[in-house]
Structure 1
Amino acid sequence: MASTARTALPPQLGVLLAGRGAVAGARVRTALAARGLTMRSVFTLTHLADGPVNQQALIDLLGVDPSALVAVLNELEALGLLNRQRDTADRRRHIVTITPEGIRTLADVDAILGGADDDLFAALSTEERRQLERLLEKVADTDSCGDKY
């Protein structure tokens, strides 16, 4: 007698990543929210850590709509994590600079996210985590979607 039970197909890699990504995203958002931050605000601060950037260049670096960036900059400025000033060479442009408090916040965020990673990837060895990181970076480097955040 033939069996009618279907053998389950192995999950697609994208489905596995999406499921783990949802868990990781929720944990990261919760960890950042405790500091009043979002992923967008962290990406923004990270770009500013290398030095002042004009607002248009920041829009290009982050690949976001100008109004979305203005909202993030308003939030970060209200938290005292960055400053915006008119460019003395071109009064139409704003120069955005991270503050010392913003630098301290980035260090806190690094520790927070490190803890979240430790929880999420506890089952992996150090080498496995490095390998996963390399593979995900490779996928991200070839991603044709263009989404930065």
Structure 2
Amino acid sequence: MADQGRVTQQPAGSSASPDTRLGFLLAYHGGITETVIRKALATTGLTPRHTMTLLQLAGGPVTQKALIEKLDVDPSVLVSLLNDLEGDALVQRRRDPADRRRHIVEITPEGTSRLRKSDVALDTVERELFADLGERDLATLRGLLGRLRTSPEDFSCTEG
């Protein structure tokens, strides 16, 4: 790792060491974090995507279209997620009485209970993962991560 947690930029065209490539560092730590989170959530019977969906629904019912936007997923992916969650009685879909073309999605009491269990699992992971960071560091990290450009449309190199 770079000295004192500082990462320096290499001049264009030079061979960079692994600790100077922020994208690789983020991917490396993200991969490990995802593995640990998956293991922790497995005890609840949920995947990270299922958990994220339930987290979005915890604030109250939303339209399926709004959920697609909040989760930033393809509609077919959301339908698959909701089918899984509905099959386990964790969410419920119903037609919007004001517009029969729209579906309203809401978390069920069983979904709320399962989400509480996932919160406990995630709290444990986060306590261990961020044990060496103080509140100020965590606030800085949240701010920096919130500023990352991680939508597919942000990247010209991903266009066909």
Alignment of 1:74-89 (within 5 A): 74-89=83-98
- TM-score (structure 2 length as normaliser): 0.74
Give 5+ residue unaligned stretches, structure 2: 1-15, 155-160
**1:92 alignment partner, SS class:** strand
User: Which of 106, 123, 128 in structure 1 is aligned with 2:132?
Assistant: 123
Give yes or no for the alignment of 1:95 onto 2:107.
Answer: no
Pick closer, same or farther for the CA change 1:43–1:126 going to 2, 3 Å: same
- Partner AA of 1:44 in structure 2: T
Offset at residue 144 of structure 1 (A): 4.7
RMSD over aligned CA atoms reads 2.1
> Shift of the alpha carbon at 1:133?
2.4
The equivalent residue for 1:3 is none
Q: Which has the higher contact order (CA 8 A, sep 6+)?
A: 1
Query: Are residues 134 and 11 of structure 1, via their aligned partners in 2, closer, same or farther at CA, if it must alter by over 3 Å?
Result: same
Moved more, 129-138 or 65-74: 129-138
How many residues are treated as equivalent by the alignment? 138
Q: Take 1:12 and 1:144, find their aligned partners in 2: how far apart are those partners?
A: 20
Partner secondary structure for residue 152 of structure 2? coil
The one-letter amino acid of 1:97's match is: E
- The whole-number CA distance in structure 1 between the counterparts of 2:45 and 2:27 is 25
Alpha-carbon distance, 1:87 to partner: 1.9
Which whole-Å CA distance do the structure 1 matches of 2:23 and 2:69 have between them?
28
Classify the secondary structure of the residue corresponding to 2:20.
coil
TM-superposed CA distance for 1:146, in Å, is 5.2
Aligned pair partner of 2:152 in 132, 141, 145: 145
Q: Deviations over 1:28-49 (max 9, x none)?
A: 1111122121222122112211
Looking at structure 2, the residues matched to 46 and 40 of structure 1 have their Cα atoms a distance apart, in angstroms, of: 10
- TM-score normalised by the chain length of structure 1: 0.79
111-120 or 122-131: which moved more? 122-131
Q: Distance in 2 between matches of 1:127 and 1:121?
A: 12
Compute the displacement of 1:120 (Å): 1.7
1:19 maps to: 28
Provide structure 1 residue ranges, at least 5 long, that are not aligned to the other structure: 1-7
Q: Work out whether 1:108 is the aligned partner of 2:117.
A: yes
The corresponding residue for 2:74 is: 65
Pairwise CA distance, 1:121: 2.2
SS of alignment partner, residue 91 of structure 1 = strand
